[in-house]
Amino acid sequence: MTQHLILSPAVAAAKAAGRPLVALESTIVTHGMPYPANLETALAVEAAVRDSGAEPATVAVIDGVVRIGLAADELAALAEAREVMKLSRADLAFAVASGRTGSTTVAATMIAARAAGLSVFATGGIGGVHRGGETSLDVSADLEELARTDVIVVSAGAKAILDIGRTLEYLETKGVPVVVYGSDELPAFWSRESGHAAPLRLDAAAEIARFHKTRAALGIAGGMLVANPLDAAHAIPRETVEGWIEQALGEATAKGVAGKAVTPFLLGRIVTLSEGRSLEANIALIKANARLAGEIAVALGRD
């Protein structure tokens, strides 16, 4: 893959100097938020990584090249671009082969990060088993990627629009460790509570780094999910969120929204239904995840 991959000057310099790096996905820029909140958030997330002592590396495919790290003007262009592909494992190579531009989901970002030698990645929320997935078989490729690719993924758990219980069961079956940071309950994206106990709990970045290194020393392949609960000041009660989700799901069904269009549609409708509260929470959680990811990356480089 290296012949199709370019590191930005900042990322290349950090890597050469042995400084910690954190990968960031670009789907939040192209499909996760409206403009200009998407660009403002992307820049704030990169700043949060730098504040923690690491170098951010936003991942995207630009004109058929996998880019690890984007300059501010490149991020701005991506934030305003139209007809941008949303890339996962299945179509990452297609975008490269056909010279297309695309943003990377959790799965695609993990692939690119690993190819570039990055071990830590921050995102908002992972994909998972969709509601009704037991019959539709609509399951995100993010889960399989977590099972196979050696990257620590820091998120606020799975997106709340998903079936969190079945997502957790799927990860358990695949042997993916789910570590909740500083809490005994798995978070549910915008909410601190999900109704599911934390499979594992760790309270410091150094402990997470040690766990990752121990897995590698034991020859255990695959990634790790670190679920970082949103702070109480920005969190939204689970019952409130569920009401918005049920209404948005009903509208999606009525309009025939399907496939990759479902998640952006639901998130967009929930922004409207919540009068912006979900967007504010989303921005807060991705910045918090970026900070924690940076701390983990720094801790990994200490030993």
Q: Active-site positions?
A: 25, 159
What is the distance between the alpha carbons of residues 81 and 229, in angstroms, rounded to a whole number? 31
Cβ density class 25-60: b for 16+ within 10 Å, e for less: bbbbbbbbbeeebbbebbbebbebbeebebbbbbbb
Please give the full DSSP string across the chain, using - where no structure is assigned.
-GGGEEE-HHHHHHHHTT--EEEE-SHIIIIIS-TTHHHHHHHHHHHHHHHTT-EEEEEEEETTEEEES--HHHHHHHHH-SS-EEE-TTTHHHHHHTT--EEE-HHHHHHHHHHTT--EEE-S-B--BBTTHHHH--B-HHHHHHHHS--EEEESSB-TTB-HHHHHHHHHHTT--EEEES-SB--BTTBS--SSB-SEEE-SHHHHHHHHHHHHHTT--S-EEEE-PPPTTT---HHHHHHHHHHHHHHHHHHT--GGGHHHHHHHHHHHHTTTHHHHHHHHHHHHHHHHHHHHHHHHTT-
- The angle, 0 to 180 degrees and rounded to 10, between the axes of the packed helices 72-80 and 37-51 is 150
